[in-house]
Amino acid sequence: MALLGLAAGATLPWIIARLPDRAPDPDETFRTPYRTLAAAPRLGWLLGGATAALWAALATGTVTSVALLAYLFVAWVGVALSYIDICEHRLPDWLNYSAFVGAATLLAVAAVVDGTWGPYGRAWLAAAAMTAGYAVLALLRPGELGLGDVKLAASLGLILGWIGWGHVILGAFAGFLLGGLFSIGLLVSGRATRRSHIPFGPFMLAGALVAAAWGAPLLAAYLGD
C-alpha cells in the first residue's frame, strides 16, 4: 500500500500544475500560480512520501473493502490540499470538490457492494453536521477559518460518518487539538504572534487521519471498553 501511495502521490505535482489560476481576492496582493507551486524541487518525492505514509496508516485502520478506496482518495487529494494551504493559505475549490465527489461516489459503490446503506446515510448526515459546524465557526472567527475549510469539512464528515459518530467527534477534536498545539509551539518559539494565522486544512486532515486509522482503540480507551 505504501508503494502504491508513493506512485499516486508522485502524480500530484502534475495535477497541481493544471489547476486553473484565478485573480487574487480584493484583500490579496498576489497569488502564486499553481504551475510555480508545482515546480518546487523534489516535490514529487515529498508528496509521494506523504501519500505513502497516509495510505499505509489507513490500511491498518478499521475500514476495509471498497470503502477504503474513499479514504485513500481523500488522503491523496488531501496531500495536495495541504501543500497548497501551507504555501498559500488557501484550499482550491477544484480539489475540494473533487475530494467530496470522489468520496461520495466511492462510498456509494461500497454501500451497493456491501449492502451497507445505514453507514452511507449516516455519512451524509455527518457531512452536513460538520459543514454546518465549520460554517458557524467561520462566521464567528472569519480570520481563522475560511470557506475552503468549510468545504473540506464536508468531505471529512462523509468519510468519518461512514465509520460512526464517535469518529466524527474524535476527528474534529483531534484537528483542533493538533492545530492548537502547533500554534502554541509557534508562539512559544517566537515564530508567530496571537494575530498570526496558520493554515488549518492540514490539521483538519490530520485529525481525520487519527480518527480513521486509530479511532477505534482511542475511543475504546477513552470510554473504558
Q: Which residue has the higher pLDDT, 187 or 201?
A: 201
Residue 193, pLDDT score: 75
Q: How sure is the predictor about 143, in pLDDT bands with cuts at 50, 70 and 90?
A: confident
* Digit-coded pLDDT (tens) for 213-223: 999 999 999 88
What are the DSSP calls for the chain, one per residue? -HHHHHHHHTTHHHHHHTSPP-PPPTT-S----HHHHHTSTTHHHHHHHHHHHHHHHHHTSS--TTHHHHHHHHHHHHHHHHHHHHHHS---HHHHHHHHHHHHHHHHHHHHHHT-HHHHHHHHHHHHHHHHHHHHHHHH-TTT--HHHHHHHHHHHHHHHHH-HHHHHHHHHHHHHHHHHHHHHHHHHTS--TT-----HHHHHHHHHHHHHHHHHHHHHHHT-
- With 0.75 as the threshold, say if the pTM is over it: yes
Average pLDDT estimate for 13-33: 84
Q: What percent of the chain has pLDDT over 90?
A: 79
For residue 84, the model assigns a pLDDT of 97
